Structure 1
């Protein structure tokens, strides 16, 4: 699964010459470029495995920037947005409903709460690890996309 990259040492040296505030911006853009390649592939894999019933699962496969990361690193998580993580925007329609215990609960329309059942499997459902398959399929392409974005960022700021 290792991808061969050429010119990484020159790229690293040029990246080190950038100002520290610009390094953070560039690192976020570079990492997001690799994550977007994996996100697109995860959506394709999920759809090809027949996981598109309402489209909620496919539409909520996202990359999310990790806020509590170690210093000097940038990290994005690839996953499925569900539950409260869907947010409170205009696209999310919430309604109240009686739960099994008789309590009033908040439900969200198009909430793919079931994604873990499909991805990891249950006793009755065969696991379809669409996130892992996407990583295996597109890891070299993600690294290449990150390298190309890094070259663009270094050229943009080192004029």
Structure 2
């Protein structure tokens, strides 16, 4: 599993501005900011993903994570897994347009197929741009809330 984090704590005095907001407004602002940063990485991952049918690109999505009032998480995920946790159920995999279960074989490779990573390089190349997009969106969202 690819696990990478961007920490925005203490940047550009956002903490002081977030203290002016209520908990619900603060959480909304944080969620919008994190999703804006994730959108940059999502776009890059979609551009780097191999395109045979377009199914893999279409299934790279932004997923919200659990967070508290002072933190928000979002990540890039690829739709397509067997709910039981294994990929032994082969029914309707080919016809289901939301099932790109094979993404991990492309990203990580197999014993007979070399890896063609597209998610990790997307994160590595756009991490700074994602951080800046998140900060810009946070500032914009705070201004919108305070203008009300």
Normalising by the residue count of structure 1, what TM-score does the alignment of the two structures yield? 0.74
Q: Does 1:82 align with 2:80?
A: yes
Indicate the structure with greater strand content: 1
CA contact (8 A) 2:81 2:101 kept: yes
Q: Does 1:40 align with 2:39?
A: no
Q: What is the number of equivalent residue pairs in this alignment?
A: 133
Quote the residue 2:32 is aligned against. Answer: 29
Structure 1's unaligned 5+ residue stretches are: 86-98
Provide the secondary structure at the position in 2 that maps to 1:158: helix
CA contact (8 A) 1:79 1:131 kept: no
Compute the displacement of 1:128 (Å): 1.6
Q: What value does the CA root-mean-square deviation take over the aligned residues?
A: 2.5
CA contact (8 A) 2:106 2:116 kept: yes
Q: Which deviations, in whole Å up to 9, do the C-alpha atoms of 1:9-68 show, x marking residues without a partner?
A: 43221111111110011111010000000000000111xxxx21111101001111124x
Provide the secondary structure at the position in 1 that maps to 2:101: coil
Q: Does 1:63 align with 2:57?
A: no
Check 1:16–1:70 CA distance in 2 against 1; reply closer, same or farther (3 A cut).
Answer: closer
CA distance in 1, matches of 2:141, 2:74: 18
Normalising by the residue count of structure 2, what TM-score does the alignment of the two structures yield? 0.79
Compute the displacement of 1:153 (Å): 1.2
